Structure 1
Amino acid sequence: MQKKPVWLEEVLTNVKIKALNEMQVASMEAQASEKDIILLSATGSGKTLAFLLPLVEQLQAADNQTKALIIVPSRELAIQIEHVFKSMQLNLKVTCCYGGHKREIEENNLKQAPALLIGTPGRLADHIRRGNITVASIETLVLDEFDKSLELGFQEEMSFIIGSLPSVKKRVLTSATNLEDIPSFVGLNEPQKLDFLTGNEDSDTGLAIKTLNSPEKDKLETLFRLVCMLGNRSTIIFCNHRESVERTSELLKERDILNVFYHGAMEQQERDAALCKFRNGTSNILVTTDLAARGLDIANIRYIVHYHLPHTEDAFTHRNGRTARMDASGTAIVILGPDEKLPAYIPADAEQIVLPETAEIPEKPKWSTLFIAAGKKDKVNKVDIVGFLSQKGELKKEDIGLIEVKDFFAFVAVKKIKANHTLHLIKDQKIKGKKVKIAVAK
């Protein structure tokens, strides 16, 4: 790599990695040129840093102008990129725009132009039409998961957004899957292609693929017995439809299998609660649609279960990308009904699982999640919450788990055996001088 920027070592320390990998080094070198770039690399390989790091010096010289725009297909991916950027601790303003919460919040944030803007197509197009974004200053355009954001459902809005950016000098497209026909409205000009997809991503990333035959078309009994066999390890179960997600989740609960579900028709707070419970260990099982196949960077997911066969090979790739991330190992399990055939993209010699004769319900998680109706906009942070729960709720440090603070509310994991007693102690207490609702998260 060329001479390292003076800020790089400190940023890498802040994001808790020792050194850039080969793909990230190549990306930084390529983006030092004026050429457009297509970056293809496996899910979990560190693509977010690969396109954020080359933006740093441009953003540092932003002078209260928005210099770079990152467009993503889902709000979860937008939030994830914002989290990574903030963890770099560059003291640069970033604003995240996506549907599912009040537009007015974003409008207030956009009054002072952020150096970096991240968003989903629908919400970004809305802000541009309303004149909330100063488009003339944007010089770098990044399309993350571009194969998804350039699908037919997004093309009208994507065309409008890109057509509204008169000053773009560089375009960077990234994904774990390629798209052969990139629409002309993207404006790519002889892009440099960095292809780190080997065709053997599964073996390269420590991902094992296994199959499981269900004797019945309704696979629920097979799924139940599989979950019992896997125990309380972190598991994502993928279904193809929202209705199937809720049905599967409910039927597992009826069988005493604790789980949370997640799909695109849920309110934002419901989605945040489900993901938080999965992240913090209140639930070890997440039942979801392909919405969770992109943008979720949750550590230590051990199993991916394809309850329904994915519609495409790309969907299979992105689902599996939730596990075996950054040198960790993981297992993807494909459940096949009696009339289903193994798709060609799944190895024909994949190991076949044989379930035990008896099914034992896994041990229940030891954590519970509390909802606190106050967040960043109320000047409440993690330190405030720990202090409050320690002093007023009589919790020790080891009784408090992961804390996530959103704009207007927060979630905190507490040891399940302490939750009811703590709630009783704090029911009439105040945080930062204000009485707020605190309850077990629904």
Structure 2
Amino acid sequence: MINDFLKRLGVDSLSDMQKAAGEAIMNGDNDVVILSPTGSGKTLAYLLPIVQMVNQMDDHVQCVVIVPGRELALQSANVLNDMKTGLRCCACYGGRMAMEEHRTLRQVCPHIVFATPGRLNDHLDKHNISSDGIRYVVIDEFDKCLEMGFADEMSAIMGKLPNVGKRILLSATDIDSIPHFLNMRRMVRLDYLDGADIVAERLKIYKVAVPVKDKLETLSSLLRTFGNQSSIVFVNYRESVERVDAYLRSLGFVTSAYHGGLDQREREDAIYKFSNGSASVLVSTDLASRGLDIPFVENIIHYHLPETEDNYIHRTGRTARWDAHGRAFFLLSPSEKLPDYVESDMDVFEIPDVLLPVAQPKNATVYIGKGKQSKISKGDIVGFLCKKAGLKSADIGRIDIKDRYSYVAVERSKLRQVLRMANGEKIKGVKTVVEEVN
């Protein structure tokens, strides 16, 4: 069974941390604390045992997973859905109407709920989620939840869950003390933070000399040496995201911009395009340094120097995830020097004089105006695009079906064909809108 789940996720084997987590969570009545670096696969570490412990025949919510932000809630739910365990789940978070989520909760009858602290409290208070059947509580990115000031909300949640038998905490940094409200008296602590050294062996770090104060031209030249590799450009300000993103787009790069000032739909679009290979470059503040599960980022670029060592650790943790290799680059203007916490004798990356043209990503993202509420399945979408747009199944990549619409990655060379042939055509007998997600 476990091997089937891993195969569907494209995972060959489990790490020592994931194996130890599974044993600790499934065996005995102990609560479990898992300390492991960013990118080491903590989501799968708790999901694999939890899906074996939840009773599929019981329609009550049996497990709640508390996360610091909506992106992690959505992505964790996607991982569970991709495992095809037969368990139902919902992601609940702020930024949209709670009533809409309430309707979804009633329709889906989830076994597992992934939720931000404030929204989970709201649903518990309104009895949209019954606490009676909840036996397992997971707090993912516990350190970030505390950092973001969610201690009171988490305390309130624990006070509303009288039947919890197991608590699981996951953190990418050490935890000095466990808050009293968690009541973790019988605790197994798994500390794999030394695994950061193993990650470092797979991560190559370079510095890039910038001849002038403005780094834009050097950035674009560096990106052109990567071809269509997946790269994240980190900056320190929202305005910088907009400026850098606009500049790169003007040169023909296909990018995603991501920061806290965007609305929910814009943020979801940006991450979806980047994670499915429709944008080669993600330009972001440190918001993208945590809470996102994008496994195959090949390059990290520190356009602005990280403001803290913690920010540096989490930025670079976006690459060399699992057992992959990655690279990180510091762009240094004449007046800048590396922070003290960064090893200073790193190699210099020389940008060649002759550069390749701007490379285009393999995929493009298509919006289809029908989703779960129209009873649309992934098979329906594949059939629709093959029949109406003349695609082959090999031309179609990742498909994500939302409540009212769907996202599909298609071969970029076939995008115009899809838009011309499929827009306004019928899927399951109903006309639908088909548009590119820019």
Fold conserved between structures, TM > 0.5 = yes
Retained in 2: the 8 A contact 1:82–1:94?
A: yes
Partner of 1:20: 14
State yes or no: 1:30 paired with 2:24.
yes
Distance change (3 Å), C-alpha of 1:61 and 1:396: closer
Q: Which of the residues 48, 52, 74 maps onto 1:79?
A: 74
Partner of 1:339: 335
Instruction: Answer with 252-261 or 417-426: which moved more.
Output: 417-426
Q: Give 1:434's aligned amino acid.
A: V
**One-letter amino acid of the structure 1 residue matched with residue 24 of structure 2:** A
The aligned counterpart of 2:114 is 118
Q: Residue in 2 aligned with 1:425?
A: 421
Equivalent position amino acid for 1:364 in 2: Q
Assess, with a 3 A threshold, how the Cα gap between structure 1 residues 57 and 405 changes in structure 2: closer, same or farther: closer
Paired residue for 1:382?
378
Q: Which amino acid aligns with 2:82?
A: S
Deviation string 1:60-92 (CA, Å, 9 cap, x unpaired) is: 277333222110111121122212222333322
Whole-angstrom distance in 1 between the partners of 2:393 and 2:53: 41
Q: SS state of the match for residue 54, structure 2?
A: helix
Q: Give the Å deviation of 1:14.
A: 4.2
Which of 227, 230, 246 matches 2:226? 230
Match of 2:139 in 1: 143
Please give the alpha-carbon distance, in whole angstroms, between the structure 2 residues aligned to 1:9 and 1:224: 42
Extract unaligned runs of 5+ from structure 1. Answer: 1-6
Cα shift readout 1:266-301 (whole Å, capped 9, x = no counterpart): 233222222222233322111112222223333432
Query: Could you say what the CA RMSD is over the residues aligned between the two structures, in angstroms?
Result: 2.4
SS of structure 2 residue aligned to 1:107: helix
Aligned in 2, Cα 1:21/1:144: closer, same or farther, shift over 3 Å? same
CA distance in 1, matches of 2:278, 2:5: 32
Matched, 1:284 2:280: yes
Paired residue for 2:435?
A: 439
CA distance, structure 1, for counterparts of residue 416 and residue 52 of structure 2: 50
CA contact 1:42–1:201 (8 Å) conserved in 2: no
Contact 1:58 1:67 survives alignment (8 Å)? no
Which residue type is aligned with residue 115 of structure 2?
Answer: G
CA contact (8 A) 1:206 1:324 kept: yes
Candidates 46, 57, 79, aligned match of 2:41: 46
State the partner residue of 1:211. Answer: 207
- For 2:52 and 2:362, the matched residues in 1 are separated by 45
Q: State yes or no: 1:254 paired with 2:250.
A: yes
Asked whether the 8 Å contact 2:224–2:359 carries over to 1, the reply is no
Distance 1:129 1:338, change over 3 A: farther
* Structure 1 Cα separation of the partners of residues 416 and 85 of structure 2: 40
| Letter in structure 2 aligned against 1:370 | V
Distance 1:259 1:9 in 2: 35
1:344/1:202 Cα in 2 relative to 1: closer, same or farther (>3 Å)? farther
AA at the equivalent of 2:67? V
Specify the code of the residue in structure 1 equivalent to 2:359: E
Which residues of 2 match residues 147-226 of structure 1 at below 5 A?
147-189=143-185, 191-198=187-194, 200-201=196-197, 203-204=199-200, 206-226=202-222
Of residues 68, 90, 95 in structure 2, which corresponds to 1:95?
90
User: Which TM-score applies when normalising by structure 1?
Assistant: 0.90
How many angstroms does 1:237 deviate by? 0.9
Q: Please, which moves more after superposition, 322-331 or 198-207?
A: 198-207
- 1:3 corresponds in structure 2 to none
After TM superposition, give the deviation of residue 425 of structure 1 in Å. Answer: 2.4
- Give the match for residue 390 of structure 2: 394
Q: Relative to structure 1, is the Cα distance of residues 340 and 157 closer, same or farther in structure 2, using a 3 angstrom cutoff?
A: farther
CA distance in 2, matches of 1:239, 1:325: 21
SS, match of residue 28 in structure 1: helix
- Tell me by how many angstroms 1:258 deviates: 2.6
Deviation of the 1:364 alpha carbon: 2.4
Farther off after superposition, 243-252 or 207-216? 207-216
Aligned partners of 1:399, 1:13: CA distance in 2, in Å?
21
Change (3 A) 1:38 1:312: farther
**Cα pair 1:205 1:327 within 8 Å, conserved:** no
Corresponding residue for residue 355 of structure 1: 351
Shift of 1:58: 3.2
Distance 1:28 1:252, change over 3 A: same
CA displacement, residues 333-352 of structure 1 (integer Å, 9 cap, x when unaligned): 12233333322332122212
Q: Percent identity?
A: 44
The 1-side partners of 2:148 and 2:269 are apart by: 31
For the pair 1:326 / 2:313, whether they are aligned, the reply is no
* Length-normalised TM-score, structure 2: 0.91
Q: 1:254, CA displacement in angstroms?
A: 2.3
Distance 1:191 1:348, change over 3 A: farther
Q: 1:213·1:337 contact (CA, 8 Å) conserved in 2?
A: yes
Aligned to 1:4: none
SS in 2 for 1:44: coil
| SS of alignment partner, residue 153 of structure 1 | coil
What secondary structure does 1:137 align onto? coil
Aligned counterparts of 1:35 and 1:347: Cα–Cα separation in 2: 40
